Amino acid sequence: MNIVVRKATHADLQYAQAICDEMEESAKKRGTGIAKRDPEYIKKKMNDENSVIAFVGGKIAGFSYIEVYDDGEFVANSGLIVFPEFRALGIAKKIKKEIFKLSRSKFKKAKIVSITTSAIVMKMNTDLDFKPVTFSELPVSDRFWNGCKSCVNYEILMKKDKKVCLCTGLLYDPEKNQSKIKKFIQKWQKK
C-alpha cells in the first residue's frame, strides 16, 4: 500500500470540499467536538503551505493544518482527519508527525497547541512530548476560541468563560524540549 504524506500545495485545492465534508461527517458520527471548516479556509491553508495531506494509492486519505495565534507565540496543529476507509493504517500518526515537523520548521520559537476530545490524538501528542495544560496556558486571542464555534461543546466552553471544556488542552513548548526533539525525530525516522 503506497501511503504518501506531504505538505499540501496549490495543486491540492481540489480536495478542500471533500476534506470539509469528512470533518463535518466525522464530528456527527463521533458526537464530539471537531470544528467545522469552510473549503475556502482549507484552500488558504494549502496555498500558504500551512497544511499536510495524505494519499493512499493516489486517493485522498487525510489532512491537518497549522494556525498561528498571538503574534506567533502559538501555533495550533488542527483539523486532523483520516477518511474512514483509510483508518487503522497508521496514517494519523504520519500526518501528526508531518504537521509537527512543518510547525517546528516554519515557527521555530512558537509553542504548539492542540485541543481535542480524542484519546488517540492525545496519545499522539503526548508521544511528541506535548503536556496537558490548563486553558489559561493556551492562546488568549478571540480568533483562537472562535475556531470552536461549530463544536458541539462550544456552549460549555462559553459558560465556563473559556477556562474549561470537554476538550483537553495540550502544549509543546520548544524552550522546554530542545534536546527531546532530536531524539523524537530520530525515533520517527526509523519507522
The answer to whether the CB of 66 falls within 8 A of the CB of 44 is no
Between CA 119 and CA 134 the distance in angstroms is: 17
Per-residue pLDDT of the chain (191 residues; tens, 9 = 90+): 799 999 999 999 999 999 999 988 877 776 665 666 889 999 999 999 999 999 999 999 999 999 999 888 999 988 889 999 999 999 999 999 999 999 999 999 999 998 887 888 889 888 888 999 988 888 888 888 877 877 777 888 888 888 888 788 899 998 876 656 566 667 767 66
- Quote the Cα angle for 136-139-140, to 5°: 75
* Helix or strand (DSSP H, E) at 113: strand 111-116
Residue 143: predicted pLDDT:
85
**Residue type at position 39:** P
Residue 113: predicted pLDDT:
93
The x, y and z cell numbers of residue 107, run together, are 515557527
Residue 31: predicted pLDDT:
64
User: Whole-model pTM?
Assistant: 0.82
